[in-house]
């Protein structure tokens, strides 16, 4: 490696690291509580739902049509927007709203919500819990909810919605560039030192450098995967938007101008679930949207199915069932870029291996915080030095003739 090449790699590593460090610290710190959000919520908030009724094993679930009719009876004049069976409990969540227009108005104000939900026991169709319809700004329910909400919005978008998502995606790309350039520099420098060496008997600057290099090398693969998948996840809004204006628009074109039928004259919801399960064999149906939903069809139930195995649990396939007749219109696997997006989610969040993997993700996250902090210390200690002086201080012997650069421990490096 020539002196000119080394200078370039060093400048790339320095500036890519400095540009993204502050935002990565925010993401890493807020990511820690989000890894254990379910456990935190259960510990500090708890579950106030009434206990499930004790029934004989293998008691069949009630028909979803019965649950839907009970929801309508509780709120006559309102519409049902979604029916979602719970993944972990014998429960069904029915979402309702005053009208589709009210939901469209809510989209203009992210903190405003006119919808509400009712939680039913899936076996007995009894109401377990329900939220209160809200039409004004909603105050946070608990300090735990407020803190977790702040962490989530900081982690995902810095409170700026789509611009924040795209900006953090860009920072994820810059972070990956800093990892690549750091690997090149570390590989050249460590040729004359045993891997993992930390020179505690030298200047404190070298101790910080060795710790920075060691921690960075130890977390390199994990940090690259999480950084890249974070970038991909931040692109979900434009990627889903692309899907809607291409494939979805083409599929729904024949129905785009049809009026939304009254919900009093729709076909069976339970039958739609059964039809979707047959249309996507090997998948489980996770939810249903009624005709008229945003980005949906004016005359179709949109049912979401996903793989039933852990490896396929993030791969979703939407199914369209004509809500007027109950007939299957078709199942439409997502395009490759959305499937890639869904596969990247468990790699980023570490939520496919249970608590042991979450703990490992948290430990690696803390180590990356150490890498970021040590990098700031190194930069702050020598921020006014020229590039060549920095390289010599780090143990490189520069040849002005642009011959190969050989990393050595110079007198300046060990002082």
205-239 pLDDT, tens digit each: 777 877 888 888 889 999 999 999 999 999 988 99
- Cα 197 to Cα 186: distance, rounded to the nearest angstrom: 12
Domain definitions of the chain by residue range = 3-46+144-238+351-394, 64-141+246-347
* pTM beyond 0.85: no
Percent share of the chain, pLDDT over 70: 82
Structure confidence at residue 388 (pLDDT): 60
The sign of the torsion formed by the CA atoms of 338, 342, 343, 348 equals: positive
Pair 149, 41: CB distance under 8 Å: no
Pair 187, 217: CB distance under 8 Å: no
- Averaged over 291-313, what is the pLDDT? 86
pLDDT by residue (tens digit) across 290-301?
Answer: 999 877 889 999
With a cut of 80, say whether residue 196 has pLDDT above it: no
- Averaged over 36-52, what is the pLDDT? 72
The sign of the torsion formed by the CA atoms of 245, 319, 296, 85 equals: negative
Instruction: Give the pLDDT band (50/70/90) at residue 117.
Output: very high
pLDDT by residue (tens digit) across 237-281?
Answer: 899 889 988 998 899 999 988 999 999 889 999 999 999 999 999
- Cα 391 to Cα 397: distance, rounded to the nearest angstrom: 8
Answer with the residue of higher pLDDT: 203 or 157.
157
Answer with the residue of higher pLDDT: 143 or 24.
24
146-155 contact pairs (CB < 8 A, 24+) = 147/33, 148/33, 148/34, 148/37, 148/40, 148/41, 151/30, 151/33, 151/34, 152/30, 152/34, 152/37, 154/26, 154/27, 154/30, 155/26, 155/27, 155/30, 155/31, 155/34
Instruction: Give the pLDDT band (50/70/90) at residue 403.
Output: very low
Unique residue bearing structure tokens 């915080």: 369
- Cα 393 to Cα 208: distance, rounded to the nearest angstrom: 13
Answer with the residue of higher pLDDT: 381 or 24.
24
């Amino acid at each position: 490696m020539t002196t000119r090449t080394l200078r370039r790699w060093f400048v790339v590593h320095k500036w890519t690291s400095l540009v993204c460090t502050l935002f990565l610290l925010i993401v890493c710190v807020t990511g820690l509580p989000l890894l254990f959000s379910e456990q935190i919520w259960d510990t500090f908030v708890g579950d106030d739902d009434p206990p499930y009724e004790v029934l004989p094993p293998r008691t069949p679930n009630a028909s979803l049509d019965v649950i839907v009719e009970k929801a309508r009876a509780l709120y006559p004049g309102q519409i049902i927007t979604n029916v979602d069976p719970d993944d972990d409990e014998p429960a069904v969540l029915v979402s309702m709203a005053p009208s589709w227009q009210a939901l469209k108005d809510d989209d203009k104000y992210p903190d405003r919500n006119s919808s509400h939900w009712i939680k039913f026991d899936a076996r007995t169709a009894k109401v377990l819990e329900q939220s209160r319809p809200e039409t004004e700004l909603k105050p946070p329910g608990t300090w735990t909810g407020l803190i977790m909400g702040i962490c989530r919005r900081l982690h995902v978008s810095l409170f700026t919605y789509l611009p924040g998502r795209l900006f953090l995606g860009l920072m994820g790309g810059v972070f990956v560039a800093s990892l690549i350039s750091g690997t090149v520099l570390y590989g050249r420098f460590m040729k004359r030192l045993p891997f993992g060496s930390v020179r505690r008997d030298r200047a404190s600057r070298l101790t910080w450098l060795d710790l920075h290099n060691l921690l960075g090398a130890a977390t390199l693969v994990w940090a690259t995967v999480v950084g890249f998948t974070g970038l991909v996840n931040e692109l979900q809004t434009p990627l889903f938007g692309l899907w809607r204006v291409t494939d979805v628009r083409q599929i729904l074109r024949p129905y785009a101008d049809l009026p939304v039928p009254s919900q009093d004259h729709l076909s069976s919801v339970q039958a739609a679930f059964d039809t979707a399960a047959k249309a996507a064999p090997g998948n489980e149906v996770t939810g249903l949207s009624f005709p008229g939903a945003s980005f949906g069809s004016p005359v179709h139930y949109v049912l979401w199915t996903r793989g039933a195995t852990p490896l396929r649990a993030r791969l979703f396939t939407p199914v369209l069932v004509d809500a007027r007749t109950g007939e299957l219109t078709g199942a439409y696997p997502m395009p490759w870029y959305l499937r890639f997006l869904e596969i990247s989610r468990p790699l980023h969040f570490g939520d496919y291996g249970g608590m042991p993997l979450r703990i490992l993700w948290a430990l690696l996250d803390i180590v990356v915080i150490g890498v970021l902090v040590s990098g700031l210390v190194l930069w702050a200690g020598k921020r006014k030095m020229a590039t060549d002086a920095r390289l010599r201080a780090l143990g490189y012997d520069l040849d002005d003739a642009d011959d190969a650069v050989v990393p050595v421990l110079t007198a300046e490096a060990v002082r």
